[in-house]
Amino acid sequence: MTPLDELFDRNVAWAQAKTRDDPDYFRRMAENQRPQYLWIGCSDSRVTANDVLGLEPGQVFVHRNIANIVHTSDMNILAVLEFAIQHLEIRHIIVCGHYSCGGIERALSEEKSALVDHWLQPIVMLYRKHRALLDAIPDPRTRLDRMCEINIELQVRRLAATPIVEQAWLRGVPLAIHGWIYGVHDGLIRALGAPVTSLAERDSLATIDARIVNPVEPESMLRRHAIEAFADLTSFEPQEGFDCCPDHGLNPGPAS
């Protein structure tokens, strides 16, 4: 028995379970893929797009690398981007990093090596530029998570500046770029600002330097629902005769 035979056994069990619950599952998978989203994420083993989004295989086109970096000279990511937009006609691109990212932690450290740090150079250089401000954050974990957020916003801007995306917008393609961050501690995705959907919106974005000084507050869907619920409560106007707060003598209702 080889060291990886267990994985083959797991694969057999998984395939049998899929066909037992859905006999046509693999027939559908064998058809042409029609994903709705391109996910540009981190290679971290804890953050897999389909699981995080609760989607089945075939619904997300995925590119992953260390710290979800968008290198404009990286033929891999550029080929994925072009294929997604032009061939698969994907209209939503999600740049999703995560808190406690080991790649970002490495970029903030003094440990260096030729290849890894070449890959992480965009975030390394940004950290060096604003080191005094960032190092003023006293808690190391908070500092790391702040840089994880900044990195996503940086990559959104780099992605939006690629000729592939620019040409799509010029052709009138309804393409949206979303910057998200995933919490490995609670399983929730948080949005970092509104999606970028045009050249005008891209050009009106605050600079990444300004974002370090004035960060965007991440927003999960739970928080958004809470804000909407609170807004509904504050917009409620009691009708005449409504007993709002009889204990304090405010707007008393009709006598019983």
Catalytic residues: 42, 44, 46, 98, 101
Comparing C-alpha atoms, which of 25, 74, 238, 73 is closest to residue 64? 74
SS3 assignment, position 236: coil
Residue type for position 206: A
- Dihedral sign of CA atoms 43, 46, 50, 54 in order: negative
CB 127 within 8 A of CB 136: no
Indicate the helix (H) or strand (E) that contains 42: strand 37-42
* Contact call for residues 102 and 44 (beta carbons, < 8 A): yes
d(CA 26, CA 73): 36
CA distance between the termini of the chain:
83
